[in-house]
Structure 1
Amino acid sequence: MYSAVKDLADTSVPFGVVCSRVCKSEAPLASSSTDSGVHSSMAYPELWTLQQFAFFTPPAKLSYWFAYWQRERLKWWKKASFSKCPSDFSLTEITDPVSAGGDVASKSGAEVSVIRKLPWGGSEAVERLRTSSLTGDGIAATPHAIVCDSSLEVAAATYISDGLSLRGNDSNEMVLRLHHKLAPYKTTIATTIPALRPLSSLLQIQLKRARVAVYCNPLLGTEASLEEQISRFDEMGIMFTVILDESTQKTGVAYVRNRDTTVREQIHVTDVRKKLPLYLQTSQSEPEHS
């Protein structure tokens, strides 16, 4: 295997390769060093996508690179989740089911997991790192491997659950604070006035042409109040809501509401197509701290 990968990469150690494949099992990240607490019905479907990174290194450098990738993977999870509490992510103790004594990290068979503290209590593994000998014969010239296993479904569930929170300490309003670059829908349009449906449709077409992902609001011009519509959009993680009301009919002025700050900015309907993409470019979607 190593020889084939080395020929494909056309390089020498140290180097790494990434692969992805669909797997079928009950626990993507289960191992001899983790318990049933890693299971999550939300994150572990019957079929799941393995994301695997294999890094090949000389045996003498195994300990150094194992420590390096532990730091890098922990750092990645803290940043990539856009977490309100980066400290929720941590590393488990290194375990070695094969050997005992000495520097565990320098031996083949060492394992460590990146775990996340769950909002509802307990914790689960989001990634597993392990060392592996390619031959097990102790030949110093044979590279060892550091393998990082993660699940695409676990990562997605971690990101979504991390972004879900209450609007404030005294509120029952749920907000899905997805980063604006990862949110499936960036904006939508809300109104309770049936006569403004044609204008809403026109704005949707204009925004789509400007390459903005627009959610087609099924509640446009219905009896659903603006508050009900906006609350639904907050739960969906939509970053900006363009609000059309009575003043829009008279003056052409609409409002752009920010999901995280709840601030509404006046904007003329003719400027929506031009300005909304700029809002998305400058928005950092930083979570609020109450």
Structure 2
Amino acid sequence: MKSVIRNGPVLKQLLDACKSSKFVTLDLENDTVKKFHLTPIGKMLKNNLREEFYRGESGTELYEGSSELSLMENLRFAQETFAVSLPFGMAVEDRFTGRNIQLSETHQMELERGSLLTCSYFINPATSKEFMYKAQRQRKIWWMRFACDPGRYFISDPRQDSARRIQSVNIRARFGDEELTLEQLELIPGDAMWEQMRGFQAKAGRSGKKITPDVVRISQCAEVATLGVILDAAQSSEENSVKIHRRLAPFKCGIVCMTEDPIQLEELRDLARHLTTVIRRVNLAVLDCSRQTTGTSNQRSLTKQLHHLDSIGVPYSLLLREQSLQNGLLQLRSRDTTISETIHISDLPHYLLKIITS
């Protein structure tokens, strides 16, 4: 993905740049994104984003609901199965087709298929405003934590639907003079949810008294959120290096063999397969590139493989040399610094897991 000039219609330039990325395909007609599709790498990025989104707000139990059930049916299941008490949350993924989404004041997206991720938190009305304020700050920090440019993210001015007394804010990202809406937070009074909750009540506090909760609902379109991460990386990354955060990166590590000896190459490939298995056992996605090494023109092959790993946002690369077979020492290269450190094979995968999840 080519770097983008930081003046003029930045969002349009970034969307144009995405056409050459490894994560999405799209057409841009005037100010409308059409034929938007995630590549297999892009789908892995979306899945990682979804997992992080569903980790929930700190200190609040979050249960997984079903989009095939009504809200009341999900609540009844949670109450009967887990004996829930306030506060608690319910996460649901709704799939949709044929929807137009407003990205910014000037740009929209036509989505053939998409997913709406929602976390609904059921809160004691006495503390719901405090929870809403805390949640919007946490959501802004969540986006900043995974960003190349944390300063682009902000909370919009609050709005209120006077008829139903629903308060809402958006988490947005600035790209030049335009603002991309990434997700929405709403504080909904319990009586405004009466029909959907059908009189649902839950225990609150130590008294065990049952009350009708308010709802703080956080929602994002998974495809728009994924596009937002890619746009942030496109504006901030250098050419041929997509600096997606290590926790979101589709692959956490790539393995590259470095030798011009065909016999040694086969032994290094065996080592690469072993390391791939070891790393996957701790649930880290790893890309074994050892079969792309030909045993000739080693430096050119290495450069090509590292460029490929950088272009799909892989944060770390393990470089296996002939000496690795004798002393067990490997080179761990960082995508962001291009600096390599020496580690021993016995330190994998725990060292890699530590730096990925930190």
TM-score by length of 2: 0.59
Does the aligned pair in 1 maintain the 2:246–2:252 contact within 8 Å?
Answer: no
Give the unaligned 5+ runs of structure 1: 100-106
Pairing 1:59-208 to 2, within 5 Å after superposition: 61-79=127-145, 81=146, 83-98=147-162, 108-118=165-175, 122-132=178-188, 133-135=192-194, 143-164=213-234, 165-167=236-238, 172-179=239-246, 182-191=249-258, 193=260, 195=262, 196-208=264-276
Contact 1:207 1:214 in 2 (8 A): no
1:61 to 1:50, Cα distance in 2 relative to 1, 3 A: same
What displacement does 1:114 show?
0.6
Please state whether the residue corresponding to 1:129 is helix, strand or coil. strand
Secondary structure of the residue aligned to 1:176 is coil
Is the alpha carbon distance of 1:53 and 1:202 closer, same or farther for their aligned partners in structure 2, counting shifts above 3 Å?
A: same
Map Cα deviations across residues 41-99 of structure 1 (whole Å, 9 max, x no partner): xxx742111111223345565533332322232232223x2x23322111111123445
Name which structure has the greater RCO, CA cutoff 8 Å, separation 6+. Answer: 2
2:276·2:288 contact (CA, 8 Å) conserved in 1?
A: no
In structure 2, the gaps of 5 or more residues are: 1-69, 200-210
Task: Give 1:2 deviation, angstroms.
Answer: 6.5
Give the secondary structure class of the aligned counterpart of 2:349.
helix
| 1:23 and 2:23 are equivalent in the alignment | no
Q: Which residue of 1 aligns with 2:307?
A: 231
Q: Is the 8 A contact 1:189 1:200 kept in 2?
A: no
Q: Check 1:38–1:148 CA distance in 2 against 1; reply closer, same or farther (3 A cut).
A: farther
Q: Which residue of structure 2 aligns with residue 103 of structure 1?
A: none
Q: Supply the distance in 2 between the matched residues of 1:35 and 1:283 (Cα, whole angstroms).
A: 35
**How many residues were matched structurally?**
258
Q: Secondary structure at the match of 1:20?
A: strand
Structure 1 window deviating more from structure 2 (151-160 vs 17-26): it is: 151-160
Q: Distance in 2 between matches of 1:265 and 1:2?
A: 51
Q: CA deviation at 1:25?
A: 3.9
Aligned: 1:219 with 2:292: yes
Distance 1:125 1:166 in 2: 21
Inter-partner Cα distance in structure 2 for 1:15 and 1:252: 48
Root-mean-square deviation (CA, aligned residues, Å) is: 3.7
Q: What's the counterpart of residue 337 of structure 2?
A: 261
**SS of 1:257's equivalent?**
strand
Name the one with the larger strand percent. 2
Partners of 2:274 and 2:250 in 1: how far apart?
20
Moved more, 122-131 or 179-188: 179-188
- Alpha-carbon distance between aligned partners in 2 of 1:54 and 1:252, rounded to the nearest angstrom: 50
Amino acid in structure 1 at the alignment position of 2:89: G
1:223-252 deviation per Cα after TM superposition (whole angstroms, max 9, x unaligned): 444223222222222333343567779998
Cα shift readout 1:86-115 (whole Å, capped 9, x = no counterpart): 22111111123445xxxxxxx623321111
CA deviation map 1:168-194 (0-9, x unaligned): xxxx44243431574424121143625
Contact 1:183–1:237 under 8 Å retained in 2: yes
Structure 1 or 2, whichever has the larger Rg, is: 1
Matched-pair contact (CA < 8 Å) for 1:192–1:226: no
CA distance in 2: counterparts of 1:175 and 1:262, whole angstroms: 13
Range moving further from structure 2, 187-196 or 15-24:
187-196
State the shift of 1:18 in Å.
1.7
* Structure 2 residue matching 1:184: 3-state secondary structure: coil
Q: Kindly tell me: are residues 4 and 129 of structure 1, through their superposed partners in 2, closer, same or farther at Cα, counting changes over 3 Å? A: same
Q: What amino acid sits opposite 1:215 in the alignment?
A: L
Q: Distance in 2 between matches of 1:215 and 1:68?
A: 38
- The answer on whether the counterparts of 1:20 and 1:50 sit within 8 Å (CA) in structure 2 is yes
What does the per-residue CA deviation read over 1:5-34, in whole Å, with 9 as the maximum and x for residues that have no partner? Answer: 543332455443221121124345x5xxx8
Question: Quick one: structure 1 residues 19 and 244, their matched pair in 2 at CA, closer, same or farther if it must change by over 3 Å?
Answer: closer
1:37 Cα offset (Å): 4.3
- Deviation of 1:125 after TM superposition, in Å, equals 1.0
Report how far residue 279 of structure 1 moved: 3.6
CA contact (8 A) 1:128 1:149 kept: yes
User: Distance in 2 between the 1:229 and 1:37 partners?
Assistant: 39
Secondary structure (helix, strand or coil) at the match of 1:209 reads helix
